[in-house]
Amino acid sequence: MSAFEPISRAHDGFVDILHVGRTADYLYYSMELADDHLAGRKIDIVNYEPRTLKSDLARHECLPADESIRLGLSLTKALEALHARGLTHRDIKPSNIIFIEGAPKLADIGLVAASGQQSFVGTEGYVPPEGPGTPCADIYSLGKLLYEICTGKDRLDFPEIDSQLSTRQTGSSCCNSIECCQKRVRMTEKRYGSAEAMHRDLRARGRRASEKSRAKSYLP
């Protein structure tokens, strides 16, 4: 936390850390309040539940392809900024993506550590075979997250794909994102070398899918 707090306001994909303090027994911090999962910024403290990617998936099962790609682009940029500072997140998953004013942010920042730190944290199914704590491991976790939001399946089902996926309204561009996950996440030697590389690939795939969609709309 001490390493992350000074840079928490340096990127839109980071949760702002507002204060870090210590009591005789605890280290604590305060951060931006996430949107309510139903009411957005109309916060009712009594009934408040934070909006996370997990809560979105509970309501919708999977996300539209264009929304999935936008979210992936936002999170890869946030990871790129985090990794550039020698830090890794170590536990990327839907419940650790919160929304503030509708924008996705990396949360559970207390887990952020210097790259290569030798403590084991993470969640089953999101941790790569080689273990957490590296930029490459964060990329693996994000790939699993994208698989979930595109397919509506659990990360433990990876790389299984719904046989009906290609017939969905958003199937074409969604398949592009899944193909990206399959080819570039499963094996370490084929994984993206950086969050920046993953961002570039997702952006290119999104553009191609958008162009194909526009072309189809003009067909007689």
pTM for this prediction: 0.85
Whether omega for the bond prior to residue 104 falls within 30 degrees of 0, making it cis, is: no
Query: What burial class does residue 44 get, using C-beta atoms within 10 Å of its C-beta: 0-12 exposed, 13-18 middle, 19+ buried?
Result: exposed
Higher pLDDT, 69 or 105: 105
pLDDT at residue 27 in the model: 84
CA dihedral 115, 78, 154, 183 (to 10 degrees): -80
- Answer whether residue 28 is part of any domain: no
pLDDT band of 46, cuts 50, 70, 90: very high
- Answer whether residue 4 is part of any domain: no
- Answer whether residue 5 is part of any domain: no
pLDDT at residue 141 in the model: 92
- Answer whether residue 107 is part of any domain: yes
- Answer whether residue 3 is part of any domain: no
Residue 82 sits in a domain whose CATH number is 1.10.510.10
pLDDT band of 131, cuts 50, 70, 90: confident
pLDDT band of 219, cuts 50, 70, 90: very low
Number of structural domains in the chain: 1
Which residues, listed in sequence order, are joined to residue 50 by a DSSP beta bridge?
Answer: 36
Distance CA 84, CA 81 (A): 5
Give catalytic status of residue 35 as yes or no.
no
- Answer whether residue 193 is part of any domain: yes
- Axis-axis angle for helices 171-185, 195-217 (nearest 10): 160
Q: Does 69 score more than 70 pLDDT?
A: yes
Half-sphere exposure of 112 (CA within 13 A, CB side): 25
- Answer whether residue 182 is part of any domain: yes
Q: Which of 35, 36, 56, 91 is catalytic?
A: 91
Which range of residues forms the domain containing residue 153?
A: 35-217
Distance CA 199, CA 204 (A): 9
Sequence-separated (6 or more) residues with CB below 8 Å from residue 113: 3, 87, 88, 90, 119, 133
- Answer whether residue 69 is part of any domain: yes
pLDDT band of 63, cuts 50, 70, 90: confident
Place of tokens 């595109």: 150
